[in-house]
Structure 1
Amino acid sequence: MKLSEATWTEVRDADVDVAFLPVGSTEQHGPHAPLGTDALAAETVADEAAGRASAADVEVAVAPPVHVGVSEEHRRFDGTLWVSPETFRAYVRETIESLAFHGVDRVVVVNGHGGNVEALAEATRRVSRDDDVDAYAVAFTWFEAVGDHAGDMGHAGKLETSLLRELAPDLVREERVDAARDGAAARWGEWVRGVNLSHDSDEFSENGVVGDPTAGDADLGEELLDRASDALVDVAAAVVDR
């Protein structure tokens, strides 16, 4: 069930086991991929996993996605939007609390943006520990759940571009992919003795890309979606049983 497409009476009458709250960002993804990449990925993984969970008798309500996240590290690239970690945590927490108010007391936040990870860990811990809120929540980041491919995650590189080629190929500016690779950084940040000296992505990447966007295709994107969705189903079942 997608909450944005359901009526209030349908939600009232549904027997929902767990909610998915997709969260992403609106931020640069190089010259070849859209600003909304992270939110699109999170929502698609949530939708796909909801269908698979239903087949396994776990009923899921998918909340509308959060499109603006903790993305100040990309602020030098036009179009990027961001909020503070405090604002983001509050928004996510209060959304979970509103779900709990209607009896949906198990929530998995489905994340598509690395910059959100720390804030989401804190937000879900706080809401789960709050004795005044009858809810339990965890955060799931899709690219951390794709097995041996997880090590290829950069930014607008192999994994994200492959997933986009599967989900929304018309949004990938294929004529710019080679240039995106040529202006990319090999890794995230500038590291000395385990310390990243860079706070913003423009300090180490000419065009905002990290990794090689030419290295993957739609077949890899399909595999990534499959792996992430299956992992999310397992997490959802565990959260329901907790």
Structure 2
Amino acid sequence: MRPYILAESNWKTLKDQPVELAILPWGATEAHNYHLPYATDIIEADRIAAEASRLAWEEGAKIMILPTIPFGVNTGQTDIKLDINLHPSTQAAILDDIIEVLDRQGIHKLLILNSHGGNNFKPMLRELGVKYPDMFLTFCNWFQAVDKSKYFTRPDGDHADEMETSLMLYFTPDLVKPLEEAGDGAAKQYRIKALNENWAWAERRWSEVTEDTGVGDPRNATAEKGAAYFENVTKKVSELFIDLANADINDLYL
């Protein structure tokens, strides 16, 4: 039993265990090119949360990892078979219920560990922060924690790319099809200049952007790259866990 993971904990151990920070991993269930499983975002969330929390726990952080939410926002992939979509309003309702429990039980810090690019928690946390003024609500995207270009030859992708494929080769190689069966992850760009410059935004219609559902070439991926990246990402994420667990939410600013 890992006492910092709620799914493995029991009431005898937990009832007197202090918790300063709850961590909610949030993934998605969606196609990842031809070679990765639909649960890729979930597996990544589980593994990164577990290792980062182990490191933080060993430094004395009083944290608890909640079970991973397996469905995310997939509104741009409605025609991709069995990509399971939660509307943002549904996510907000789920968050509201979870935060209500934490607030009632005196656990006043929540971090969402986001594992899916389609999830955007900022507007939800703004609104829920007004509803629960005693709560400190935050989120992070673990896939933005470190510079991918230090580890991968093709760091420009963002879905089933070299980075995700390397992680999955490290985590669960039995669930990764041979890379010669993977698509090249080629993705079309908008004809509208501003949308490619990232200061304007519109949702991508996934099946019109990419033939294989991937964005980014995965074919240079290796388990060794995945291991190195995982080590550094989890170290960085664990530092956030420690800082949040130790923070006084009434004294956050220098």
Relative distance call for 1:127 and 1:198 in structure 2 (3 A) is: closer
1:13: which partner in 2? 16
Q: Matches of 2:116 and 2:22 in 1, distance apart? A: 19
Which protein has the larger Cα radius of gyration, Structure 1 or Structure 2? Answer: 2
Relative distance call for 1:128 and 1:223 in structure 2 (3 A) is: farther
Look up the SS of the partner of 2:52 in the other structure. helix
After TM superposition, give the deviation of residue 135 of structure 1 in Å. 1.5
Q: Matches of 2:135 and 2:230 in 1, distance apart? A: 28
Bigger shift: residues 200-209 or 6-15: 6-15
Paired residue for 1:154, among 158, 164, 169?
158
Relative distance call for 1:126 and 1:154 in structure 2 (3 A) is: same
Look up the SS of the partner of 2:15 in the other structure. helix
What do the CA deviations read for 1:86-139 (whole angstroms, capped 9, x no partner)?
1112212321332232222111111110000x2x12223333333x45321211
Q: Matches of 2:129 and 2:157 in 1, distance apart? A: 29
Paired residues for 1:8-157 under 5 Å: 8-116=11-119, 118=120, 120-130=121-131, 132-149=132-149, 151-157=155-161
Q: Matches of 1:223 and 1:230 in 2, distance apart? A: 11
Q: Match for 2:86: what amino acid?
A: V
1:190: which partner in 2? 190
- Whether the 8 Å CA contact 1:155–1:211 is kept in 2: the answer is yes
Paired residue for 1:236, among 234, 238, 241?
241
After TM superposition, give the deviation of residue 13 of structure 1 in Å. 0.7
> Over aligned residues, Cα RMSD in angstroms?
2.0
More helix by share: 1
Paired residue for 1:224, among 208, 224, 229?
229
After TM superposition, give the deviation of residue 191 of structure 1 in Å. 4.6
Relative distance call for 1:208 and 1:19 in structure 2 (3 A) is: same
Look up the SS of the partner of 1:233 in the other structure. helix
Paired residue for 2:183, among 153, 170, 181?
181
Any gaps of 5 or more consecutive residues in structure 1?
A: none
Paired residue for 2:172, among 168, 173, 178?
168
Look up the SS of the partner of 2:118 in the other structure. helix
Q: Matches of 2:231 and 2:100 in 1, distance apart? A: 30
What TM-score, normalized by structure 1, do the two folds share? Answer: 0.89
What do the CA deviations read for 1:139-175 (whole angstroms, capped 9, x no partner)?
111111122439534210111111101111111112x
Number of equivalent positions: 235
Look up the SS of the partner of 1:115 in the other structure. coil
Look up the SS of the partner of 1:195 in the other structure. helix
- Whether the 8 Å CA contact 1:180–1:213 is kept in 2: the answer is yes
Q: Matches of 2:157 and 2:130 in 1, distance apart? A: 32
What do the CA deviations read for 1:26-55 (whole angstroms, capped 9, x no partner)?
111111111111111112111111100011
Relative distance call for 1:143 and 1:134 in structure 2 (3 A) is: same
Q: Matches of 1:153 and 1:16 in 2, distance apart? A: 37
What TM-score, normalized by structure 2, do the two folds share? Answer: 0.85
Paired residue for 1:206, among 211, 217, 238?
211
